[in-house]
A and B are shown apart, each in its own frame.
Chain A
Amino acid sequence: MKHKTKITGLMAALLLSTASIAHAETLRLLTWGSYAPEELVQKFEERYPDIDVEVTFSNNEEMIAKLRATGGAGFDLAQPSHDRIHAAQMEYDIYKPLDLSKIDTSVMETSHLEGVKANTTIDGEVYAVPHQWGTSGLMANKSVAPDFKGWGDLCDPKYEGKTSMRLKRTILLGTAFSMGHDPFAAYSDLDKYQQILDEVAEKLIDCKSNIKAYWKGGDDLSAMMLSGEIVASETWDSTAYKLYGQNKDIVFVPPETGALAWIDTFALPRKGKADDAAYKWINFVLEPENVTIMSGSTGAIAAVKGGLELLPEDKRNAVTAAFTDADIANLKFFANIPAGVEDMEGKTLEKIKAATGG
């Protein structure tokens, strides 16, 4: 008898669970770590009880690689940066055009919206709208490195063995700017770009002995910076803001040649199955109170009107401590990456890594 009730109970549970599967729609997000805070996901699922949210954390390169592997299947909403859409779409056909009428674009900061649209329009169709923006630049511990101000200072012998950088394209571009070049303008002339890259490589190979280690993720960078093992580094602004919360001496430093700005976007994978849920999520996270929760988690500024005011207070303080209006005006937005550039940059990075320089 007891046995029987157990089985019926099990059956009932099974039926219930299959029933809920049959009803619920799943929204599969492919996004950055911290871009789907638990609090928001729960709030979203409460508002739309028939949608389940599944989150996969990733980064630009892996997002494209994942979508490429399946031809754009497996996810319903992706969030690559604005410069990673055009070429990826041309080459691998992994996104589908957005239906802008389903998105409340009126709340978005016009300059960002127009910028992203211009960057991601192919054959008259728009493939992405902006979500959050932020910058890559430098951070320094002001108590020991008070006049740290440009990309080139990472290679200043004054800070020997006390600086770090990530060996990715950001540092190539930053160093190019600090040497007086405009790498984005050179995208149209790849021979010229190769020359710039060669110069940059030479400089960064010389610089190797000055660097303690190349950081690989926010965690090892934070550990090195907080422990005082390094005094300055190339960084994402959000990492610097987080550290500012723990040590007020550590500030984000927009390089004098301009911080490099990125905008993370919303884009629909080509074989996504829950477009409506995806649009609901987009509009949901654009609501002012949700923007604050999101920015609190990401440390980035939402690309909505008044995005800065919607930051949680501690993050807003960190931003205002770091940026003047002139710095904001001096931002260098990442330009669309034309085909072939990733390969050239990859080769340059390999060359730097393989060189023996201390």
Chain B
Amino acid sequence: MQSDIKRLSLILLFAPFALWIALLIILPHMGMVVLSLREKVAPRVYEFGFGNYIDFINEPIYWNTLLRTGSMSILVTFLALLIGFPIAYYIAKIAGKRSRGALFLLCLIPLWVSDLIRAFGWILLLRETGVISSFLTDIGLIKQPIEFLYNDITVIIGLVYTVILFMIVPLVSTLDGMDNAMIEAGYNLGGNGFTVLRRIIVPYAMPGIVSGCIVVFMMTAGSYLTPILLGGKNSSWFTEQIYDQFITRFNWESGAAFGFLLLAFTSVVVWIGLRLTGQTLANTVAKS
């Protein structure tokens, strides 16, 4: 009797998770696999084959865009870590108990506004006749208005801004659990600030760093709005190619194949990243 109830509650607790995984993740992906393996031979006629994947390999534009998206995403992840770590450290270790909540909230506030609005905010600031450019002309620092918009740097700024919170949150929660005594001990044993950071704080924060990096990298590589709106003439982004395949070219088959390639590519990058840093998912993401 007792064990029946236990089993029932286990099943009930497990059910939402299982349904979510099965219905919203596995099933649609299986549909995509099937779709990506169809080759269009004539209107309403399809054949099974790997043609869509072969097209990708044969067309340098596609894999160049994928590599470009990948490398820019890595850069964004790195910048987010670089900027996010001190912020997280300040919130978790230096700020007082009361201001901590307020600071955390301040980081959250931009997230209450949609991606689209935030991108338009950047557009207003950075355009040639925008706030920053006209301010600089007004104070006489520059003579001609400057266009800050429509280039890769703007895309990177916009993306870092969008994702940095997802770096800060896991970092704060791991750093929060760290005993201050460990840092003090480090100093007592003669370590300087850099050694303490390198030998004590960073290793302790590793689970947070890894999970933050994974989330940020995945979000960046899969983002659509920011690169499209802020990007310029040459800023191709892989998600844009997927959109074009699905919507403009009515080519769902190769769009699905591209979707999978993006998934595979990002997974491989994450795997390589874990390998290079000698981490595993079990002792990082699962812990943080």
**Interface set of A (CB-CB < 8 Å, partner B):** 61-62, 64-65, 68, 88, 90-93, 168, 208, 211-214, 216, 220, 223, 227-229, 339, 342-343, 346, 349-351, 353-358
Contacts and interface: CB of A to CB of B under 8 A. Distances in A.
Contacts of B245: 346
Given A212-B150, A229-B128, A343-B251, A65 B246 contact: yes
B247 A62 contact: yes
A354 B63 CA distance: 11
A354 B65 contact: yes
A351 B234 CA distance: 11
Contact of B43 (A213, A339, A355): A339
Contacts of B149: 213
Contact of A350 (B232, B244, B247): B244
The range of chain B's interface size is: 20 to 34
Given A212-B147, A358-B233, 11 more contacts: A61-B248, A92-B44, A93-B44, A212-B150, A213-B233, A216-B229, A223-B127, A227-B127, A342-B248, A350-B61, A353-B233
Interface string B46-77: 00000000000000010011000000000000
B228 interface: yes
Interface of B: 43-44, 61, 64-65, 123, 127-129, 147, 149-150, 228-229, 232-234, 236, 241, 244-252
Mostly, the A contact residues are: helix
Contacts of B249: 342-343, 346
8 contacts: A68-B252, A90-B43, A91-B250, A208-B233, A213-B149, A213-B233, A349-B248, A354-B236
A160 to B, nearest CB: 13
Contacts of A223: 127
A83 B248 CA distance: 14
A204 B285 CA distance: 47
* Most chain B beta-carbon contacts within 10 A, residue among A65, A351, A358: A65
Nearest to A346: B249
Contact of A68 (B61, B127, B250): B250
Contact of A229 (B43, B127, B247): B127
A228 B150 contact: no
A354 B43 CA distance: 29
A65 B150 contact: no
Contact of A346 (B65, B128, B229, B248): B248
Given A91-B44, A228-B129, A213 B232 contact: yes
A308 B51 CA distance: 50
Contacts of A213: 149-150, 232-233
Contacts of B236: 350, 353-354
Contacts of A68: 250, 252
B232 A346 contact: no
A62 B243 CA distance: 10
Closest 7 CB pairs of A and B: A346-B249, A227-B129, A213-B150, A91-B43, A354-B61, A61-B247, A229-B128
Given A65-B250, A353-B234, A353-B236, A346 B244 contact: yes
A346 B43 contact: no
B128 A227 contact: yes
B285 to A, nearest CB: 34
Contacts of A342: 248-251
Nearest to B241: A350
A62 B123 CA distance: 25
A339 B44 CA distance: 11
B57 to A, nearest CB: 15
A228 B241 CA distance: 31
Nearest to B65: A354
Nearest to A88: B250
Contact of A214 (B44, B128, B233, B252): B233
A59 B208 CA distance: 43
Contacts of B244: 346, 349-350
Contacts of B234: 208, 353-357
A62 B247 CA distance: 6
A47 B128 CA distance: 49
A119 to B, nearest CB: 17
Nearest to B124: A223
A220 B249 CA distance: 24
Contacts of A214: 233
